[in-house]
Every structure is written in structure tokens, then in C-alpha cells.
């Protein structure tokens, strides 16, 4: 039975029309690449800050965080420790180099540092990695749409849901460029946060326990302390030990914040290098409380659905078929009218924030790093032509991204990982090589075009070999036992290998740094 009221549908439709209208509002006065992809470097710092938060959270946070704490502990929230370290490194090491180069994308810096072929290779590597990562996020969001429309997670229904999300997000991104993306992100982060807070208020009202009693239940949930924030054991198969948080996840975040065009494009719209660094650091401080909201929802849903002995007569009649859809089932079946609509809007906002930012950043990398350099070898492109190609690139990337979201649906089912671990882990395929190359470029005078390409390839291969379904078989065949390495450590291994390979090359041109 579909429990979504006509008022909830009305709110959803109004929201979709609103973001599309916002895109067309910013479609005026678009003039070439600098306007469409960089907003003439004139965006307010606070808006860029919130846009970074909205993009880095995504539907993986909205659904994945809830699923993680529903099934386990809140320990992953301590990732904030590594987040701040990473923001400082990105702000003081990488961002200054990008502003100094004056390029449209982060990979344009590599073109000046190592040579144009390095820019081509890095851009292609980013496009590949971003397709995987954004595809994973769109797939996660499509879970909610599929449950909302069809009531299940069958692959054909997921495909329809992915197509719906992709179409709406592509329309307003094509119209308004990065300015539309940033301002819709600002709207989306407010909607997401408000929806999350309202869900917490509703759950606290429904659960027949005081706050202190809820805390006591969570501290001993079938022998597990769900409120545990730190794990001090040394276990490379656990992604959230103290060692992972301060070292491995910090390295992963340096890559996410410092070499991913999806986020770098936002800070490059700031008026100055100082404002860009300020937006980056501030985004990590805002990121933590928003993440905490959805982690708390997962904990409360554990009591709401998993402890009928506590809920008594207030227990829900919903039977969970799949913990991936626990939050969606809660929204559809148990939230009151109006609040349900707002919560669903928050989910779609998170989904479209992932899609629009990825489509725009991939298009910017394709146009600025691949198409225009090759075009300029023949003739100079006019601003009108640049704008036309930019919009066509967004459409193309939106279509390919939709296809990869379908691939991600198949990959997640095969991997057995939780939604949040899958969404984060898949990003390391491109991050490993890119981080090694960028650190070589900014911290050393070593490297050349040949070793840049070799490092990027080595990064992808190393992450592929570390996948659970491959590493387990390899280690059993070679050592007689099955090894398991948590996803944050993939970045350490792959990034180190890529850095060494890139730095082995003797410089063949003067470094920018």
C-alpha cells in the first residue's frame, strides 16, 4: 500500500519545479567556460561552504549513515577527526597551487606542472572515478524512489528511479551551470538538515523512554555499545579504528577535498585563495553535525523497529525486508503527512546534489582539459561556442552517469558492503593515482608525463587488487589464508604506490611550485 499522501506528492512536485526554475533563472548571462564552470570566481564564501557540505554528504549520508548505525555503532562519526586534518592539508598545500596556476580545473595545474599529456591522463582518470563514485550515490538515492513508487528494489524499478533523478538534475544543471548547482546545494542542505531534525523529534516523541533511558539501551544493544566513538584495536579489516581515522581516512579525505574536481570546482569559484581555503575548512566543521543528525536517526530507528519489547503498543507494523531501505520505509509508512513529504524532499535533494555536481564537474574537466586544448590547436573557440559545448557536455555526462548508476546497483549487491562503505570505497579507484600525482607535483620537483600516466594506471590496478573478492582469493592462493583490508587502507596502499612511481621520473620541465 502506498502511504504517501497527495500533500506529500504536492510538496515533492513543487520542489522539483523550484530547482528546475532556479536553474533557468541562472541561465541568463552565461558567457563561456569562465562563467558556466567558475561563476566568474565571484561566489560568496558561505554559499561555497554549504555547497561543499551538500556535495560531500549525498544520498550516501541520508540513507547510508542511517543504515550503518541501525545495524552497528556510531563509531564512523569519528571520521570528523580525519576530515579536519585533510581540510588543513588541502587548504594550505593544494588549493594555493591551483589558484597560482589560474586554471579552470585542478587537472589544468598538472598540465602546467608536468605537461599537457598529464592533464589529459588525470582528467580521464577523474572522469572514470567520478562516474563510479557518483553512480554509487545516485543508485543509493534511487533506492528511495523505487520503494516510493513501486514498493520494492527490483532492478527494473531501480533503473526507472535512476532515470527520473538523472533527468531532473540534468535539466537545471544544463541551464544554470555551476552557479545553479551551488545555490541549489544551499537550498538542499537546509532541506536535508530540517528533515533530519524533524525525524529525530518525531522518533523521540514516539519512543516511550526518556533520553537517559534511550542512551542506556543504546549502550547495551544485544551486548554491543552502539554509542562507542573510538575503537583502539589494531585491525586492518575494520575501517573505523583510531588508526584508520587519524591516518587512512585522513589520507582518503585529502584526496576527496584536494584532487577531486567535484569539490575543487566549488572552491575555485571563490574570489580569492584565502576565501577558498576558508570555505574548505569551514565545510568540514559544518559537515560533522549534519552527519551526526542522520547517525542519530539510525540509532533511534534501531529502538523503533528493532526493539518491539520497548515500543510496546507504539511498535510499528512495518516489517523490514532490507536494512538498506530502513529509513525509506520509516518515511513512507510512519512519518505524518507533510513531514513525510519534507523528508522525501531531503532525500531527493541529497540525490540531485550528487548528480548535478558530478555532471557539472565532469563536464568542466572534459571541456577545459580535453576538448578546448585540442580545439585550440586548430582554431580559437568563441565564448558562445564554449557555452554550447559546455551544456552539451553536461547532457552527455548526465547520460553516462545514469548508466553507471545502474552498474553501481549491480556492484553493491555483489560486494556485500554497507551502502556508506560502498559509496566511499568505490571512490578510491581514481583517488589513489590522483593523490600520488598531485602530492608529487606539489611537494617535490620530481615526475614527468610518463611517470604520471604510469602512476595513475598503477593506482587503479592496486585498488582493484585490494577488492575483497580479489584480495581474499589472492591471499589464500599465495599465503594459505584469507586477507581482508578495510576500504580506508586501500587509499594508503594505492596512493603510496602511485606517489613512488610518479616520483621515480626525472623532471623534464620546471615545476610551478
The count of structural domains within the chain is: 1
* Structure confidence by residue, pLDDT tens digits, 215-254: 999 998 888 899 888 888 888 888 888 888 778 888 888 8
Q: Which of these, 443, 368, 356, lies nearest to 37 by C-alpha position?
A: 368
Q: Which of these, 252, 165, 228, 258, lies nearest to 427 by C-alpha position?
A: 252
The stretch 119-124 carries a mean pLDDT of 87
The stretch 171-181 carries a mean pLDDT of 71
Coil, helix or strand at residue 80: helix
Q: How many alpha carbons fall within 13 Å on the CB side of residue 440?
A: 32
Residues contacting 267, CB < 8 A, separation 6+:
48, 52, 95, 276, 277, 279, 280
Cβ contact 263:56 at 8 Å = yes
The pLDDT of residue 378 is above 60: no
Rounded to 5°, angle at Cα 408 from 367 and 502: 55
79 domain-assigned = yes
* Percentage above 70 pLDDT, the chain: 89
Model-level pTM?
Answer: 0.79
pLDDT at 512: 44
Cβ contact 325:314 at 8 Å = no
39: left (phi over 0), alpha (psi -120 to 50) or beta: left
pLDDT at 447: 93
425 domain-assigned = no
344 domain-assigned = yes
pLDDT band at 28 (very low <50, low <70, confident <90, very high): low
The pLDDT of residue 420 is above 80: no
pLDDT at 513: 44
The stretch 489-494 carries a mean pLDDT of 91
Query: CA-CA distance, 387 to 385, in Å (whole number)?
Result: 5
Would you tell me how many other CB atoms lie within 10 Å of the CB of residue 365? Answer: 31
pLDDT band at 31 (very low <50, low <70, confident <90, very high): low
pLDDT at 333: 85
* Percentage above 90 pLDDT, the chain: 16
499 domain-assigned = no
pLDDT at 1: 41
Residue 467 has which C-alpha cell? Answer: 577488492
166 domain-assigned = yes
384 domain-assigned = yes
pLDDT at 396: 85
Coil, helix or strand at residue 221: strand
268 domain-assigned = yes
pLDDT band at 297 (very low <50, low <70, confident <90, very high): very high
Residue 44 has which C-alpha cell? Answer: 560568496
Task: Look up the domain containing 380 and give its range.
Answer: 11-414
The pLDDT of residue 116 is above 80: yes
Displacement of CA 278 from its chain's centroid (Å): 20
Query: Torsion over CA of 435, 438, 439 and 442, rounded to 10 degrees?
Result: -160
Residue 41 has which C-alpha cell? Answer: 570566481
Residue 409 has which C-alpha cell? Answer: 546497483
- Mean pLDDT of all residues in the chain? 82
Q: Which of these, 84, 64, 80, 203, lies nearest to 141 by C-alpha position?
A: 64
Highest mean pLDDT among 142-151, 185-194, 255-264, 370-379: 185-194
* Structure confidence by residue, pLDDT tens digits, 379-413: 565 677 777 787 788 888 888 888 878 777 776 66
Highest mean pLDDT among 49-53, 148-152, 246-250, 417-421: 49-53
Coil, helix or strand at residue 307: coil
Query: CA-CA distance, 35 to 52, in Å (whole number)?
Result: 19
52 domain-assigned = yes
Residues contacting 48, CB < 8 A, separation 6+:
182, 266, 267, 269, 270, 275, 276, 279
Instruction: Tell me the Cα Rg of the chain.
Output: 22
Q: Using alpha carbons, list the distances in angstroms from residue 284 to 55, 281, 294, 425.
A: 12, 6, 16, 20
DSSP string, 381-403: PPHHHHHHHHHHHHHHHHHHHHH
Query: Which DSSP symbol is given to 223?
Result: T
Domain CATH number, residue 164: 1.20.1730.10
* Structure confidence by residue, pLDDT tens digits, 324-360: 778 888 888 888 888 888 888 887 777 677 677 777 7
Amino acid at each position: 500500500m502506498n502511504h504517501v499522501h497527495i500533500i506529500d506528492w504536492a510538496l515533492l512536485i513543487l520542489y522539483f519545479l523550484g530547482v528546475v526554475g532556479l536553474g533557468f533563472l541562472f541561465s541568463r548571462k552565461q558567457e563561456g567556460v569562465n562563467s558556466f564552470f567558475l561563476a566568474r570566481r565571484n561566489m560568496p564564501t558561505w554559499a561555497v561552504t554549504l555547497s561543499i557540505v551538500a556535495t560531500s554528504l549525498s544520498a550516501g549520508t541520508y540513507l547510508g549513515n542511517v543504515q550503518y548505525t541501525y545495524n552497528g555503532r556510531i563509531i564512523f562519526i569519528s571520521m570528523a577527526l580525519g576530515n579536519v586534518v585533510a581540510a588543513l592539508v588541502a587548504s594550505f598545500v593544494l588549493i594555493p597551487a591551483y589558484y597560482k596556476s589560474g586554471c579552470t580545473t585542478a587537472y589544468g595545474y598538472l598540465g602546467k606542472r608536468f605537461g599537457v599529456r598529464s592533464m589529459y591522463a588525470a582528467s580521464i582518470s577523474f572522469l572514470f572515478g567520478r562516474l563510479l563514485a557518483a553512480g554509487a550515490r545516485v543508485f543509493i538515492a534511487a533506492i528511495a524512489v523505487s520503494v516510493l513508487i513501486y514498493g520494492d528494489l527490483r532492478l527494473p524499478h531501480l533503473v526507472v528511479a535512476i532515470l527520473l533523478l538523472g533527468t531532473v538534475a540534468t535539466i537545471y544543471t544544463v541551464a544554470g551551470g555551476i552557479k545553479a548547482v551551488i545555490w541549489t546545494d544551499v537550498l538542499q542542505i537546509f532541506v536535508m538538515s530540517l528533515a533530519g531534525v524533524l525525524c529525530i523529534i518525531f522518533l523521540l516523541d514516539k519512543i516511550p523512554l526518556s533520553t537517559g533511558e534511550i542512551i542506556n539501551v543504546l549502550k547495551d544493544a544485544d551486548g554491543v555499545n552502539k554509542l562507542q566513538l573510538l575503537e583502539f584495536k589494531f585491525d586492518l579489516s575494520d575501517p573505523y579504528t583510531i588508526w584508520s581515522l587519524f591516518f587512512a581516512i585522513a589520507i582518503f579525505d585529502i584526496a576527496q577535498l584536494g584532487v577531486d574536481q567535484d569539490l575543487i570546482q566549488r572552491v575555485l569559484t571563490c574570489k580569492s585563495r584565502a576565501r577558498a581555503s576558508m570555505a574548505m575548512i569551514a565545510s568540514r566543521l559544518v559537515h560533522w553535525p549534519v552527519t551526526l543528525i542522520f547517525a542519530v536517526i539510525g540509532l533511534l530507528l534501531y529502538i523503533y523497529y528493532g526493539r518491539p519489547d520497548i515500543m510496546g503498543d507504539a511498535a510499528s507494523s512495518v516489517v523490514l525486508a532490507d536494512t538498506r531501505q530502513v529509513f525509506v520505509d520509516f518515511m513512507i509508512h510512519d512519518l505524518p503527512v507533510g513531514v513525510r513529504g519534507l523528508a522525501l524532499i531531503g532525500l531527493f535533494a541529497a540525490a540531485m546534489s550528487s548528480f548535478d555536481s558530478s555532471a557539472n564537474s565532469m563536464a568542466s574537466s572534459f571541456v577545459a582539459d580535453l576538448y578546448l586544448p585540442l580545439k585550440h590547436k586548430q582554431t580559437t573557440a568563441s565564448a558562445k561556442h564554449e557555452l554550447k559545448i559546455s551544456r552539451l557536455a553536461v547532457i552527455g555526462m548526465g547520460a553516462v552517469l545514469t548508466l553507471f548508476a545502474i552498474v553501481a546497483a549491480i556492484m553493491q549487491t555483489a560486494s556485500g558492503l554497507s551502502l556508506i562503505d560502498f559509496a566511499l570505497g568505490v571512490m578510491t579507484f581514481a583517488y589513489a593515482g590522483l593523490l600520488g600525482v598531485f602530492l608529487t607535483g606539489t611537494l617535490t620537483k620530481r615526475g614527468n608525463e610518463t611517470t604520471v600516466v604510469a602512476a595513475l594506471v598503477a593506482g587503479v590496478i592496486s585498488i582493484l587488487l585490494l577488492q575483497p573478492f580479489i584480495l581474499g582469493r589472492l591471499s589464500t592462493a599465495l599465503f594459505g589464508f584469507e586477507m581482508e583490508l578495510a576500504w580506508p587502507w586501500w587509499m594508503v596502499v594505492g596512493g603510496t604506490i602511485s606517489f613512488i612511481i610518479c616520483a621515480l621520473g626525472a623532471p623534464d620541465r620546471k615545476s610551478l611550485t
